[in-house]
Amino acid sequence: MEKALRIGGIAAGITLIGFGIAAIVLAIIGGRTVNSNLSQEFITGTPDMTPSGIKPEVAAIQGEQQKIAAAQKKANVPASQQFTFTTVEAPSCSVAGQHVNNGNRAQCFARYMRIHALGASSGLTYSQMGQYAAKPDAPVQSTDFHGGTSDPKYAQTDPTTGQPVSNGARNLWVTETALTTALYLAFTGSAISLFGIVVGVALLLSGIGFLILTLSGGIEHAPFRSKPA
């Protein structure tokens, strides 16, 4: 029984050490891949990507949201149809002038990108903007109060195709969402890589502990060892 426990302890220790080393290596490779791919995009934070530098734009967006809210009330838009605006706050991180080459900087850059997109949409999100560019004389109740409408009969028409003109601000939001999603995934990948390293170290230390316990004879003195009659 003691021999079986000793063999089992050695096998468990070696297995844990192997899994720990594999987890650490794979995590490091994954993290390097994320950072390398980010670096190849040559993204650099703009000068306003600091908590203080972005404050004027945040204040401007909040002001535009208030104007739209007032305009909706003035147009007697039912309360149930009035916009609930997204929260706009200055990030606490800074990436101004920095090369975005790791997950933390990618996340920070994405947060500032969202503010820039909200600045172009007067604080409206994708679902709140009209699908088309509204005609100048379109009834305000049929618009998103930012030059867009989802009613084709009030949309501007492309003279070449005869089709409604798409809302440029809404299209910009789609592009921004795609880019920020990729940046957030890079941050997630970096976080998973770090977690993999932590788990790998834990497995490695556990395996070493098993081997030390087994090879030092700790198994022979375990409390569940049967006593001779």
pLDDT category at 223 given cuts 50, 70, 90 is low
The distance from CA 188 to its chain's CA centroid, rounded to whole angstroms, is: 7
Q: Three-state DSSP class for 122?
A: coil
Q: Which neighbouring-strand residues pair with 145?
A: none
Residue 104 tokens read as 């933390």
Q: What pLDDT score does 215 carry? A: 83
Element (H, E) at 133: strand 132-133
Band of pLDDT at residue 8, cut at 50, 70 and 90: confident
Contact 73, 82 (CB under 8 A): yes
What is the predicted pLDDT for the residue at 30? 95
Per-residue pLDDT band at 53 (split at 50, 70, 90): very high
Average pLDDT, the chain: 92
Q: What pLDDT shows up at residue 38?
A: 95
Predicted TM-score (pTM) of this structure? 0.86
Sorted by where each begins, the domain ranges of the chain are 2-129+167-215
Torsion 84-177-174-49 (CA) sign:
positive
DSSP-assigned letter for residue 178: H
